[in-house]
C-alpha cells in the first residue's frame, strides 16, 4: 500500500536520520543536481518529468526522489515493488488524483523503488496515469531499465543514471553522520581508519551507515576509535554472505566474467554456483554471458553469441532449478571458446574518431539519390556495385576523405580471424595494411 513513513530520531536507523532534506545537503551526482546538473533547474522550477533513476544500491535514488517532491512542494506517494499488486497501484493512483493539483505542474509524485521487480501487468497499470498526467512517476532501479521496464512505460520517462559513490563521497557521509546526527554528536568518535568500512560497504551508502552504526552501538564507551581491525572484528561475518544488491553481487559476477574471459571453466562454474546458491536472477547471469559472447569472443567463434542468446531465452522461460544446467553448459562453452575483443575494440575506436572529427560528410558516390536533383548533383556517381565485379568486390573508398585508410577492425590472433585477415588482405591489398 502507498504510505509515507515517519520515524522518530530514536527509532530510525542512522541512514534515515541523516537523510538529506534539501538539495544543498545531497552528496554526489553533480552531473544531475550540481550547479549545471541536468535536473537542477527542473527541480528549482518545480517542473519534473516522469523519470527513471538508474544506479547501484545506496547511491541516493530514494533520497533524490523525496527531495524532488519536497522542493517542488508536491504530494509524495510510495509503492513497494515487492508487495504491491495491480489493485494497490490503482488505489494509490486514485488517491493521488484526489490530492489536488490535477493537470498542473504540481501533480503528485508516485515513487516506486525497485521498479524492475514490477511485472508487465503492474507496469501496464501505470501507463494511463503517467500519460494523462495524473501522477509524475519516479522509478528507481539497480537494473538496466532497457531490459526491465516495458517499452511503453520507458518511452514516457526520462532515464537518469546515478554514479557509484567515490571514496570521498563515502567519507563525507561518515563525517556528516558524526557532525549532524543527534545521537552520534553526543559521543567522541574518532575515524582513525576507513578502509575496512568502505570495503565492506561496496560503495553502498546505506550499507556503509548501517555498518558504522553497528560499530557505534557495539561500543560500551562514548569515546570510540574506529580502526580497520575493530570493524573487521565486529562485522567480518557479513563478508561470507551473498548479497544480491551489494558488494558481493558485483564482485562475484566480476569473478565469473573474468574466469570465462580467462578460459577457465572451473572458475566460471564455481562463481556461477555461488550466484545460483545466492538466488541471483537467472536473467542477470544469462545477460552478462550474452554481452561477453560478443565482447570477448566475437568473430573468433560467432556461434558463441547464438549459444548465449538461446541460453538467455531458455532460462527466461524455464527458471530455477533447471536453468542451472543451461547456465553451466553456456558458461563452459564460452570459457572453452577462442577469444577475441576485436569487434569491441573496433566500435570503441570508431566512436572515439566520431567524437574527435564530428559529422564528416558522406562521400558523394556513397550518397543515396532518390530525387532527380540529387542525381544531377552527383549523388551516387562513380559508386561501384560490388556484385557486378569479380568476387563480389570492387575497390573504392568507404570512409570520409579526412579519415581515409583508418583501420578500426584489427582481427585477433585466432583461427577464424586469421582467415578474416587473409580475406581482407586479398581484397584490399595494401590499403589498410592487413
Question: Residues 380-434: pLDDT tens digits?
Answer: 777 888 888 888 888 888 889 899 989 999 998 999 899 999 999 998 988 998 8
Per-residue pLDDT of 24-45, as tens digits, reads: 888 889 899 888 888 888 888 8
All structural domains of the chain: 14-161 (3.40.50.300), 167-238 (1.10.8.60), 247-335 (1.20.272.10), 353-428 (1.10.3710)
Highest mean pLDDT among 39-43, 56-60, 143-147, 422-426: 422-426
pLDDT at 295: 94
- pLDDT confidence bin for 3, thresholds 50/70/90: very low
Q: What are the helix (H) ranges across 72-218?
A: 86-97, 120-131, 145-148, 151-154, 167-180, 182-185, 195-201, 205-217
Is 46 a residue whose pLDDT tops 80? no
Average pLDDT estimate for 195-220: 86
* pTM of the predicted structure, to 2 decimals: 0.59
| pLDDT tens digits, 287-338 | 999 999 999 999 999 999 999 999 999 998 888 888 999 999 999 999 999 9
363 falls in which pLDDT band (50, 70, 90)? confident
User: Mean pLDDT for the chain?
Assistant: 85
Interstrand relation of 223-226 and 188-191 (parallel, antiparallel or unpaired): parallel
Distance CA 169, CA 130 (A): 34
* 113-126 average pLDDT score: 87
Contacts of 332 (CB under 8 A, 6+ apart): 265, 268, 269
- pLDDT per position as a tens digit, 79-112: 877 677 788 888 888 887 776 544 454 788 899 9
The pLDDT score that the predictor gives to residue 207 is 86
416, 338 contact by CB (below 8 A): yes
Give burial (CB, 10 Å; 0-12/13-18/19+) of 197. buried
Q: pLDDT over 90 for what percent of the chain?
A: 31
Winning range, highest mean pLDDT, from 226-230, 256-260, 355-359: 256-260
Amino acid at each position: 500500500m502507498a504510505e509515507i513513513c515517519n520515524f522518530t530520531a530514536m527509532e530510525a536507523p542512522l541512514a534515515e536520520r541523516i537523510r538529506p532534506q534539501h538539495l544543498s545537503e545531497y552528496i554526489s551526482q553533480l552531473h544531475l543536481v550540481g550547479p549545471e546538473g541536468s535536473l537542477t533547474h527542473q527541480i528549482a522550477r518545480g517542473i519534473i518529468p516522469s523519470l527513471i533513476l538508474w544506479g547501484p544500491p545506496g547511491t541516493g535514488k530514494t533520497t533524490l526522489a523525496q527531495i524532488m517532491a519536497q522542493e517542488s512542494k508536491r504530494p509524495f506517494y510510495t509503492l513497494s515493488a515487492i508487495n504491491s499488486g495491480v489493485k494497490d497501484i490503482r488505489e494509490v493512483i486514485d488517491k493521488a488524483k484526489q490530492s489536488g493539483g490535477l493537470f498542473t505542474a504540481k501533480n503528485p509524485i508516485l515513487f516506486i523503488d525497485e521498479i524492475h521487480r514490477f511485472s508487465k501487468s503492474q507496469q501496464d497499470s501505470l501507463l494511463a496515469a503517467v500519460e494523462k498526467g495524473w501522477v509524475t512517476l519516479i522509478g528507481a532501479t539497480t537494473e538496466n531499465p532497457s531490459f526491465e521496464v516495458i517499452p511503453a512505460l520507458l518511452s514516457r520517462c526520462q532515464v537518469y543514471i546515478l554514479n557509484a559513490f567515490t571514496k570521498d563521497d563515502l567519507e563525507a557521509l561518515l563525517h556528516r553522520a558524526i557532525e549532524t546526527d543527534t545521537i552520534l554528536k553526543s559521543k567522541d568518535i574518532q575515524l582513525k581508519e576507513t578502509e575496512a568500512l568502505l570495503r565492506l560497504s561496496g560503495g553502498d551508502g546505506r550499507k556503509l551507515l548501517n555498518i558504522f552504526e553497528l560499530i557505534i552501538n557495539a561500543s560500551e564507551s562514548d569515546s570510540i576509535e574506529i580502526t580497520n581491525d575493530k570493524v573487521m572484528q565486529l562485522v567480518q561475518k557479513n563478508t561470507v554472505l551473498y548479497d544480491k544488491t551489494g558488494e558481493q553481487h558485483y564482485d562475484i559476477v566480476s569473478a565469473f566474467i573474468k574466469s570465462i574471459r580467462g578460459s577457465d571453466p572451473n572458475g566460471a562454474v564455481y562463481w556461477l554456483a555461488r550466484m545460483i546458491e545466492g538466488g541471483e536472477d537467472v536473467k542477470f547471469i544469462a545477460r552478462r554471458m550474452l554481452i561477453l559472447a560478443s565482447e570477448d569472443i566475437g568473430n573468433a567463434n560467432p556461434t558463441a553469441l547464438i549459444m548465449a542468446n538461446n541460453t538467455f531465452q531458455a532460462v527466461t522461460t524455464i527458471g530455477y532449478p533447471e536453468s542451472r544446467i543451461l547456465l553451466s553448459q553456456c558458461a563452459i562453452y564460452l570459457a572453452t571458446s577462442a577469444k577475441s575483443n576485436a569487434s569491441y575494440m573496433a566500435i570503441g575506436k570508431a566512436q572515439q574518431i566520431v567524437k574527435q572529427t564530428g559529422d564528416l560528410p558522406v562521400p558523394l558516390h556513397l550518397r543515396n539519390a532518390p530525387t532527380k536533383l540529387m542525381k544531377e548533383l552527383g549523388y551516387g556517381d562513380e559508386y561501384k556495385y560490388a556484385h557486378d565485379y569479380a568476387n563480389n568486390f570492387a575497390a573504392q573508398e568507404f570512409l570520409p576523405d579526412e579519415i581515409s585508410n583508418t583501420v578500426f577492425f584489427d582481427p585477433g590472433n585466432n583461427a577464424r580471424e586469421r582467415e578474416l585477415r587473409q580475406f581482407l588482405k586479398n581484397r584490399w591489398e595494401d590499403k589498410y595494411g592487413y
